């Protein structure tokens, strides 16, 4: 068991408290570390408390806080790294989500645009169809009107022709009638002359 006073470091632990293996004080005693003016040992880390601890059954001057601090620091660093990794993961996830949302938005926009375009196209097609229908109807109407007009004209022509024919026939008939009348009148006149010249009551035929 090493029962040396505080500050008399062990040969097993040289320089752990900031001293060297073969350091001696004013009186020539070997010490395991450097002492301050008030006689206390100077530690590696200022303000780190030292305490006697039994390691493998041997009492040593052992700076526990330092190892704990280093360990804690390392752990903290590891934790921080993990946190950073987690943060990175979170950021990545967020970025991915944002990208997905943007893609979704873009897709929706594209779909809307396509729908609008389709609607516009269909509207245009419908309009064109209606215009064609209108034009067809117009042409049909025009044709019918023309045909009607021509029919009417033809009818009028026929009527006129008929009228003319009738008139001609009538004229011819009248002419014939007139001629007949004239002939009859002439015959009558001749008969009277015969009767006067004969001066008889019986009339003979001119034959």
Judge if 89 and 129 occupy the same domain.
yes
For residue 175, tell me if it sits in a domain: no
Contact yes or no for 41/20 (Cβ under 8 A): no
Q: What integer is the mean pLDDT of 104-130?
A: 89
Q: What is the dihedral of CA 156, 159, 163, 168, to 10 degrees?
A: 100
189: confidence class by pLDDT, cuts 50, 70, 90: low
> Which pTM value belongs to this model?
0.30
Q: How many residues does the chain have?
A: 207
The boundaries of the domain holding residue 148 are 71-154
Q: What is the pLDDT of residue 152?
A: 87
Q: Which residue has the higher pLDDT, 176 or 53?
A: 176
How many structural domains is the chain composed of? 2
Judge if 116 and 138 occupy the same domain.
yes
Per DSSP, 41 falls in state B
For residue 163, tell me if it sits in a domain: no
36: confidence class by pLDDT, cuts 50, 70, 90: low
Q: Report the distance separating Cα 105 and Cα 123, nearest Å.
A: 26
Contact yes or no for 8/40 (Cβ under 8 A): no
Q: Report the distance separating Cα 77 and Cα 83, nearest Å.
A: 10
Q: What integer is the mean pLDDT of 95-118?
A: 89
Q: What is the average pLDDT score of the chain?
A: 67
For residue 164, tell me if it sits in a domain: no
Judge if 77 and 148 occupy the same domain.
yes
Q: Is the pLDDT of residue 42 over 80?
A: no
Lowest mean pLDDT among 5-14, 18-27, 198-207: 5-14
Judge if 48 and 79 occupy the same domain.
no
135: confidence class by pLDDT, cuts 50, 70, 90: very high
Of 131, 154, 177, which marks where a domain is finished?
154
For residue 206, tell me if it sits in a domain: no
Judge if 47 and 96 occupy the same domain.
no
Judge if 58 and 85 occupy the same domain.
no
Q: pLDDT tens across 49-64, in order?
A: 444 444 444 545 554 4
């Amino acid at each position: 068991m090493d029962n040396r006073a505080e500050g008399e470091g062990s040969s097993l632990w040289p320089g752990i408290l900031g001293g060297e293996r073969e350091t001696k004080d004013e009186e020539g005693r070997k010490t395991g570390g450097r002492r301050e003016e008030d006689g206390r040992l100077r530690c590696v880390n200022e303000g780190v408390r030292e305490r006697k601890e039994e390691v493998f059954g041997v009492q040593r001057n052992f700076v526990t806080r330092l190892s704990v601090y280093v360990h804690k620091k390392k752990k903290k660093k590891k934790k921080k790294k993990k946190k950073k990794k987690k943060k990175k993961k979170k950021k990545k996830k967020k970025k991915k989500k944002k990208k997905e949302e943007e893609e979704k938005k873009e897709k929706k926009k594209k779909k809307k645009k396509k729908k609008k375009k389709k609607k516009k196209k269909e509207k245009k097609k419908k309009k064109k169809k209606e215009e064609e229908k209108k034009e067809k109807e117009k042409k049909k109407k025009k044709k019918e009107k023309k045909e009607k007009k021509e029919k009417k004209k033809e009818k009028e022509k026929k009527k006129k022709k008929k009228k003319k024919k009738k008139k001609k026939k009538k004229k011819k008939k009248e002419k014939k009638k007139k001629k007949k009348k004239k002939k009859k009148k002439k015959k009558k006149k001749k008969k009277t002359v015969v009767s006067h010249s004969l001066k008889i009551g019986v009339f003979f035929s001119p034959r």
